């Protein structure tokens, strides 16, 4: 394993980066470089290209680099650096180091072990208060500039060594869900002293018990010099402070050093206690940052699915582990499902075979129209099925208004597409849509990992909403409701908000139970092609049709305005049978295909 160590003129101007074989790195002042050195004024924004090949580092000065690269005292346009060698640019030296794999030591038996409670540490007085305050003041800048946990670890080690003058080495360590311990990054004051191998037992105990633990080896070595201590032979003491994150994973700050006087217990070594307290402060700050980043990462994904009020509620109930996971867990609940699909997409895909990217852009814009209205009315967007959107209400918070919100969203989607179709120059002018809305029991919730969440809903009600959307094509209707949804919303909507008409009882292809299907229509001032009287006459015709009085049904339906397409379907059936119901008529229209 190879590391590149940069050391500037000032002690704090320092970092250590692990290098991967075969990977190219840019070294320069720009933060866009893989190896940024912002303190070195002699560096160009991109000064050198570095590449680790076999056991050496190839360094090549880039054409635009102004200042020289010195290797072995000479100006070098290109050089090959072996472990233990260094090159210099300006006042910064870059040392290549080779070390064994960063595996923790198997040593588990300290001479003495001490743990510290927060109450004990709060009573400890700080030494070097000015030094520590300066380090803490630099922490917000570090947090704001780093781009990954690895970069954060490198910068944090610099701060630890700057703030703890007794420390000779520090490491960022991780314990995974299985209990295995590994080292993310390590650093030490004397680069020639080799790598740092933390005690696996110390790390595991500190992270598991969620408190700082100190191990002391110095007296044990003096008493039993022949005993082997592979992790601690060069250190008298080490402590590990956990950075509290999730329940199944944890990482910590490991600090080690030597005593400058004989060990007389923790009370006789107050400087070590102060060092632990200082590290606890750093760990608590980093823990807060981790939780905040975790919650923000979850919320950034959930923003694609959840409306702002739901997000606000989730954020307000968030705990130490981030978003309240109990609220997001899949569970059975009453939901209202809206399924919205673009009509004629397959044909447009064939027609736009020469410009599929352009078609994708138009479809994405149409899907955005749908999702915007779903979120606006408090819904959750589930799966995107090609040219269709699934939205649902009733999760993660139950609501008696779920059917009303779903219907309002459906009407808003219809209104948006009607406005688009009125503009011949609009890129979505030729798109039409169909919407099915159904209410019932389902399992809704998130699936995925802690950092990557997908929200969805399962159950027969989803299939029912999809079948209703399919029926909009056959029945020439824009929005169809199942009987449950219609029964809930019909009496709760004022005529100024929505209108309804029953279209009949149908048995969709593939289903065993017939459906009483109702069309949801805008109020008269938004859709004046059908008056309230027309809707009453239509429903009268449907009742006559269902009862088998097809002549009367024909007269009622035939009086509908010619612009109304919904009556075409029933009139077609009546005409095919010479206005007489077939023998054995049960009032159910059986659909023979999707």
- Are 253 and 330 in a shared domain? no
Residue 305 lies in a domain: no
261-284 per-position pLDDT tens digit: 666 666 666 778 888 888 888 887
DSSP state of 43: S
| Beta-carbon contacts of residue 476 (< 8 Å; ≥ 6 apart) | 565, 566, 568, 569
| Alpha carbon distance 95, 43 (integer Å) | 16
- Are 48 and 117 in a shared domain? no
Among 294, 310, 328, where does a domain finish?
294
DSSP secondary structure letters along 96-125: EEE----PPB-----SEEEEE-HHHHHTPP
- Are 38 and 180 in a shared domain? no
* Nearest by Cα to 192 from 104, 97, 55, 258: 97
Residue 372 lies in a domain: yes
| Beta-carbon contacts of residue 123 (< 8 Å; ≥ 6 apart) | none
Per DSSP, the three-state class of 39 is coil
Inter-residue contact 507 to 593 (CB < 8 Å): no
- pLDDT the model gives residue 557: 92
- pLDDT the model gives residue 329: 80
- Are 478 and 368 in a shared domain? yes
State the pTM of this model.
0.54
Q: Could you give the C-alpha distances from 133 to 128, 139, 161, 272, 393, in angstroms and in order?
A: 9, 10, 14, 17, 51
- Exposed, middle or buried: residue 66 (CB in 10 Å: 0-12, 13-18, 19+)? exposed
- Are 171 and 53 in a shared domain? no
Q: Containing domain of residue 400, as a range?
A: 319-590
Whichever domain contains 230, its CATH number is: 3.30.450.40
Residue 216 lies in a domain: yes
| Alpha carbon distance 409, 381 (integer Å) | 12
DSSP state of 319: B
Inter-residue contact 258 to 236 (CB < 8 Å): yes
CB atoms within 10 A of CB 221: 15
Q: Are strands 167-175 and 181-188 parallel, antiparallel or unpaired?
A: antiparallel
- Are 223 and 344 in a shared domain? no
Whichever domain contains 84, its CATH number is: 2.60.200.20
Inter-residue contact 436 to 472 (CB < 8 Å): yes
| Beta-carbon contacts of residue 95 (< 8 Å; ≥ 6 apart) | 4, 5, 7, 84, 85, 86, 191
- Are 129 and 168 in a shared domain? yes
Per DSSP, the three-state class of 498 is coil
Among 74, 98, 122, where does a domain finish?
98
| Alpha carbon distance 45, 30 (integer Å) | 5
**Hunting for tokens 């499902």 — which residue is that?**
337
Residue 308 lies in a domain: no
- Are 150 and 246 in a shared domain? yes
| CA 522 to chain CA centroid, nearest Å | 38
CB atoms within 10 A of CB 378: 20
| Alpha carbon distance 294, 324 (integer Å) | 12
Phi, psi for residue 421 in degrees, rounded to 5: -70, -20
* Nearest by Cα to 470 from 428, 502, 426, 438: 438
Inter-residue contact 194 to 99 (CB < 8 Å): yes
DSSP state of 320: T
Q: Which residues of the chain have pLDDT under 70?
A: 11-12, 99-111, 118-129, 139-151, 191-194, 218-233, 245-249, 261-269, 288-326, 344-362, 383-386, 447-454, 593-594
DSSP secondary structure letters along 438-492: EEEEEEEEEEE-SS-EEEEEESHHHHHHHHHHHHHHHHT-SEEE-HHHHHHHTTT
Residue 34 lies in a domain: yes
Tell me whether the omega of the peptide bond preceding residue 396 falls within 30 degrees of 0, making it cis: yes
- Are 476 and 500 in a shared domain? yes
By residue count, the chain amounts to 594
- Are 410 and 264 in a shared domain? no
**Hunting for tokens 């809704």 — which residue is that?**
444
Inter-residue contact 244 to 210 (CB < 8 Å): yes
| CA 84 to chain CA centroid, nearest Å | 42
Residue 310 lies in a domain: no
**Which tokens sit at 170?**
């520090």
Inter-residue contact 396 to 328 (CB < 8 Å): yes
Number of domains observed in the structure of the chain:
3
| Alpha carbon distance 43, 66 (integer Å) | 8
Beta bridge partners of 28: 36
| Alpha carbon distance 439, 339 (integer Å) | 12
**Which tokens sit at 209?**
């018990």
- Are 405 and 275 in a shared domain? no
* Nearest by Cα to 285 from 137, 186, 146: 137
Residue 301 lies in a domain: no
| Alpha carbon distance 237, 226 (integer Å) | 18
**N-to-C CA span, the chain:** 62
- Are 141 and 42 in a shared domain? no
Residue 365 lies in a domain: yes
| Beta-carbon contacts of residue 129 (< 8 Å; ≥ 6 apart) | none
**Which tokens sit at 247?**
């329940």
């Amino acid at each position: 394993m190879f590391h590149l160590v940069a050391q500037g003129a000032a002690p704090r101007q320092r970092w250590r980066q692990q290098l991967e074989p075969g990977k190219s790195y840019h070294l320069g002042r720009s933060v866009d470089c893989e190896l940024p050195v912002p303190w070195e004024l002699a560096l160009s924004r991109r000064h050198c290209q570095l590449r680790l090949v076999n056991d050496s580092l190839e360094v090549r000065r880039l054409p635009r680099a102004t200042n020289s690269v010195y290797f072995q005292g000479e100006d070098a346009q290109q050089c090959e650096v072996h472990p233990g060698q260094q090159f210099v640019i300006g006042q910064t030296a870059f040392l290549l180091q080779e070390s064994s794999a960063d595996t923790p030591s198997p040593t588990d038996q300290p001479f003495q072990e001490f743990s510290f409670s927060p109450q004990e540490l709060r009573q400890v007085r700080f030494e070097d208060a000015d030094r520590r305050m300066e380090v803490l003041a630099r922490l917000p800048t570090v947090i704001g500039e780093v781009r990954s946990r690895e970069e954060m670890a490198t910068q944090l080690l610099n701060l630890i060594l700057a703030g703890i003058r007794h420390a000779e080495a520090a490491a960022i360590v991780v314990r995974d869900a299985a209990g295995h311990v590994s080292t993310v990054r390590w650093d030490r004051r004397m680069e020639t002293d080799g790598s740092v191998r933390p005690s696996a037992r110390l790390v595991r105990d500190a992270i598991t018990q969620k408190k700082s633990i100190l191990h002391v080896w110095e007296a044990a070595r003096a008493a039993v010099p022949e005993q082997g201590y592979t992790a601690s032979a060069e250190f008298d003491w080490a402590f590990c402070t956990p950075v509290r994150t999730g329940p199944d994973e944890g990482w910590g700050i490991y600090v080690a050093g030597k005593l400058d006087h004989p060990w007389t217990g923790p009370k006789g070594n107050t400087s070590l206690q102060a060092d632990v307290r200082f590290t606890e402060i750093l760990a608590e700050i980093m823990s807060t940052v981790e939780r905040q980043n975790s919650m923000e990462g979850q919320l950034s994904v959930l923003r694609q699915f959840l409306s702002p009020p739901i997000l606000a509620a989730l954020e307000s109930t968030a705990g130490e582990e981030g978003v309240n996971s109990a609220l997001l867990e899949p569970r059975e609940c009453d939901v209202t499902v809206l399924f919205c699909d673009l009509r004629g997409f397959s044909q447009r895909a064939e027609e736009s075979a020469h410009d599929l990217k352009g078609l994708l852009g138009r479809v994405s814009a149409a899907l955005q129209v749908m999702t915007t209205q779903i979120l606006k009315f408090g819904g959750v967007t589930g799966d995107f099925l090609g040219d269709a959107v699934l939205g649902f209400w009733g999760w993660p918070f139950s609501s008696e208004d779920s059917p009303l919100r779903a219907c309002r969203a459906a009407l808003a989607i219809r209104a948006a597409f009607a406005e688009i179709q009125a503009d011949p120059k609009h890129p979505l002018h030729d798109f039409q849509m169909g919407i099915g809305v159904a209410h019932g029991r389902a399992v809704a919730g998130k699936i995925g990992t802690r950092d990557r969440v997908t929200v969805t809903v399962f159950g027969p009600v989803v299939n029912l909403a999809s079948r209703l959307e399919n029926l909009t094509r056959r029945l020439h209707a824009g929005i169809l409701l199942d009987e449950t949804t219609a029964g809930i919303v019909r009496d709760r909507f004022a005529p100024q908000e929505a209108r309804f008409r029953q279209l009949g009882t149908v048995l969709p292809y593939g289903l065993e139970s017939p459906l009483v299907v109702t069309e949801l229509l805008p109020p008269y001032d938004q859709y004046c092609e059908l008056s309230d009287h027309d809707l009453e006459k239509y429903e009268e015709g449907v009742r006559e049709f269902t009862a088998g009085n097809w002549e009367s049904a024909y007269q009622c339906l035939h009086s509908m305005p010619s612009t109304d397409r919904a009556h075409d379907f029933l009139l077609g059936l009546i005409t095919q049978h010479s206005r007489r119901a077939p023998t054995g008529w049960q009032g159910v229209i059986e659909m023979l295909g999707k």
